[in-house]
Amino acid sequence: MELEGKLNGELNLELTEQEQILKLRKELHQHNYNYYVLNMPTISDKDFDMMMHQLQDLEKLHPEMADPNSPTQRVGSDLNNEFVTVQHKRPMLSLANTYNQQEVSEFYERVKEGLQGAPFQICCELKFDGLSISLHYEHGSLVRAVTRGDGTQGDDVTQNVRTIRSIPLQLPQGAGYPDEFEIRGEVLMPWTSFERLNKQREENEEPLFANPRNAASGTLKSKNSSVVAERGLDAYLYYLLGEGIPGDGHYQNMEAASKWGFQVSKAMKLANSLQEIYDYIEYWDTERKNLPVATDGIVLKVNSLAQQRSLGMTAKSPRWAIAYKFQAEQAETILRQVVFQVGRTGAITPVANMDPIQLSGTQVRRATLHNADVMAQLDLHVGDHILVEKGGEIIPKVVGKACPTEPGCPKINFITHCPACGSKLIRYEGEAAIYCPNETGCPPLIVGKIEHFVSRKAMNIFSMGPEIVESYFKQGLIHDAADLYTLKAEQLLNADKTNEVSVNNILNGIKESKNVPFERVLFAIGIRFVGEIAAKSLARYFGSMDKLSTATLEELTQVNGIGEVIAGSVIKYFADERNRTFINRLTKYGLQMQISQEQQEAKSDRLKDMSIVISGVFAHHSRDEYKAMIEKHNGKNVGSISGKTSFILAGENMGPSKLEKAQKLGVRIMNEEEFLQLVGEQ
């Protein structure tokens, strides 16, 4: 009642409404921090709600005071958000993994050698199993949140991140933080939120999330931020970057970040020896099971930022940090049956249904058996006592029997016909998987082909996710990808037109896809074995779908990287009348079926017959852009160095093993400027 009196009386008398808004925001930010980060609330839930309601009322009266970082915005919006791709200011590299003490020791010795005997400390941290996020602050306000993506660019998910209550929207004034900085961490779903969410989905007869990481990832990428707000995501921050950060020590910087209001794990510890690292790993290998969130390992970082810079990075990961992955937890249960699922490509995956068990904090009823070879090795029978573990702490898999099969238990054999359409299954030479070949008549394959067609690296119809594709297929609106170009708004709008914005986005995305270049159209149509790289090579060699469709085996195998398996698959695809009809329909609807005039004119033979390796970090262009330049000038990108390598395009921090091998073989090393001059693109 004391708080209520203050809010309704004294506060209103002493302050203008605008001042009350600012005061309430400041106090609510602090209460959020006390509750969600410190776990030490200083007011009751009722009092907190009362303050929040008062702030909401005042903000309605003063729309000119709108602020996206107000505590009232944490509830999210039911408007659809389209994610924008953002370039990272600094690459978000992945960490190399280790799995035993010997590999940890080797990392420690590499650091010691790289620092030439200088003393160093290792910061030991828990590796949280969630979704990596980069948060950007200016003058204490959250301005942008970006997912890791491919490490060089990610999706802007700021609206959704604002709903996560352990992430501060506004830092307290005078706390000592820089004007601009970036802090990285992990967005995750606590076990309690995960179990509550799956219980709701089970009641609604919706598919369950396999683990908290998938649930967190799916939630953060939701287009409806009010859904994100309801699901109870959390976040731990673990790396501070930018000009003017407190000091040279990573551990000390994170201590400072904690004082600014960020949730930083209290499990962080500085180690001064290899034995201290071992002790930390041993302790948390057991104790992590008592944590409220999922972890799958330990991260070891050189503490000094100056020493981090001195050690540098490889093309894929920093030399100053490494991840130690915990051994997968195993449990015993009883196998009840095996069901067979049909994947997007037609691959048949056997899945074990079994008595429920607890693994890494989640209840598991199903586990993968991978393929027919694995099933044969396991020699499974109904009623077998089996051992199950989580591969990488994520995917449950059957790894063996706990005891011999009891007499009378029926053996489980791999099926011979597709469970979805009844077609006889086939196995391609050299492949472990067994496939349904009915690409134009098996529902899971048809849906999978459409999902592939609309994907980002294919036609990039980003407004259509798997759920929408499946829904349209089940409604009979589409039977193949060509049907997308016949869709009309009146077919897709619901009765009250509440989905008008999303329908317009879908139709605009379909329309814009007509401008996608030929090489991606070729990848999108889904010829078996023709991946993104093969599609580029074929498109640039033949120049049009017409020429490709009549190519012979001999002509196809003349293309770099195209062997007889891919060539045979291309010929088989175009020999099918149904596929030719499909291509004709796409052509009629206006898709790009040949290399553009601009691409044809830009191509040169400056790198003809050259095999080029790319290594390091570049200043002028990304690695993908350099790969495209090499292909554009008729060169060949190769991944490893040999006597046939023409030269290495080397950026900063070229891998030491590649450098050593190049010097040993006498392979030329070319820098960015030399390369750009060679191809005439300076």
pLDDT by residue (tens digit) across 494-529? Answer: 888 888 888 999 999 999 999 999 999 999 999 988
pLDDT, average across residues 563-580: 94
Compute φ and ψ for 457, nearest 5 degrees.
Answer: -80, -10
What does the pLDDT read at residue 153? 85
At residue 104, what is the residue type? V
Q: Which of 495, 515, 535 finishes a domain?
A: 515
| More confident site: 456 or 553 | 553
Alpha helices in 477-622 (DSSP H): 489-492, 500-512, 518-524, 532-542, 545-549, 553-556, 564-575, 577-588, 597-602
CA distances for 280 relative to 224, 298, 308, 642, angstroms = 40, 9, 21, 42
CATH assignment of the domain containing 314: 3.30.470.30
pLDDT in tens, 60-86: 888 888 787 787 876 554 444 567 888
What does the pLDDT read at residue 604? 80
CA distances for 111 relative to 209, 271, 321, angstroms = 40, 14, 9
Grade residue 35 by pLDDT with cuts at 50, 70 and 90.
low
Range of the domain at 367: 328-427
The crossing angle, in degrees rounded to 10, of helices 101-114 and 274-287 is: 140
pLDDT in tens, 238-253: 999 998 899 999 999 9
Same domain? For 494 and 539 the reply is no
Q: Of the given ranges (235-244, 264-273, 336-345), which has the lowest mean pLDDT?
A: 336-345
What does the pLDDT read at residue 204? 64
CA distance 490 to 500: 10
Q: Which of 272, 290, 322 finishes a domain?
A: 322
Same domain? For 258 and 246 the reply is yes
pLDDT, average across residues 283-310: 92
- Asked about 112 being catalytic, the answer comes back as no
Has residue 582 been placed in a domain?
yes
pLDDT in tens, 156-200: 999 999 999 999 999 998 899 999 999 999 999 998 998 888 888
Q: Is a pLDDT exceeding 50 seen at residue 280?
A: yes
Q: Is a pLDDT exceeding 50 seen at residue 8?
A: no
Same domain? For 381 and 478 the reply is no
Count of domains observed in the chain? 6
| More confident site: 83 or 117 | 117
pTM confidence score: 0.51
Q: Is the sign of the CA dihedral 588, 591, 596, 598 positive or negative?
A: positive
CA distance 277 to 267: 13
Residue where the block lists tokens 């396999």: 210
Q: Is a pLDDT exceeding 60 seen at residue 2?
A: no
Among 127, 301, 390, 627, the active-site one is 127
CA distances for 103 relative to 125, 285, 324, 327, angstroms = 17, 17, 9, 14
Q: Of the given ranges (29-38, 134-143, 192-201, 363-372), which has the lowest mean pLDDT?
A: 29-38
Has residue 432 been placed in a domain?
no
Q: For the chain, give the percent of residues with pLDDT over 90.
A: 51
pLDDT, average across residues 469-480: 94
Burial (CB count <10 Å: 0-12, 13-18, 19+), residue 215:
buried
What does the pLDDT read at residue 41? 72
CATH assignment of the domain containing 15: 1.10.287.610
CA distance 3 to 345: 62
Beta bridge partners of 643: none
pLDDT, average across residues 308-323: 88
CA distance 472 to 478: 6
CA distances for 184 relative to 241, 253, 511, 659, angstroms = 8, 12, 37, 31
Question: Rounded mean pLDDT of the chain?
Answer: 87
Burial (CB count <10 Å: 0-12, 13-18, 19+), residue 521:
buried
pLDDT, average across residues 111-135: 94
Q: Of the given ranges (194-208, 410-424, 502-516, 524-538), which has the lowest mean pLDDT?
A: 194-208
What does the pLDDT read at residue 440? 86
Q: Which of 13, 46, 66 finishes a domain?
A: 66
Compute φ and ψ for 312, nearest 5 degrees.
Answer: 75, -160
Same domain? For 187 and 316 the reply is yes
User: What residues contact residue 92 under an 8 Å CB cut-off, 6+ apart?
Assistant: 132, 134, 148, 149, 151, 154, 184
Residue 315 DSSP symbol:
S
Same domain? For 496 and 532 the reply is no
pLDDT, average across residues 585-598: 90
pLDDT, average across residues 634-643: 83
Residue pair 579/482 in contact (Cβ under 8 Å)? The answer is: no
With vertex at residue 164, the alpha carbon angle to CA 163 and CA 166, rounded to the nearest 5 degrees, is: 140
Same domain? For 489 and 523 the reply is no
pLDDT in tens, 391-405: 544 568 898 999 999
What does the pLDDT read at residue 598? 67
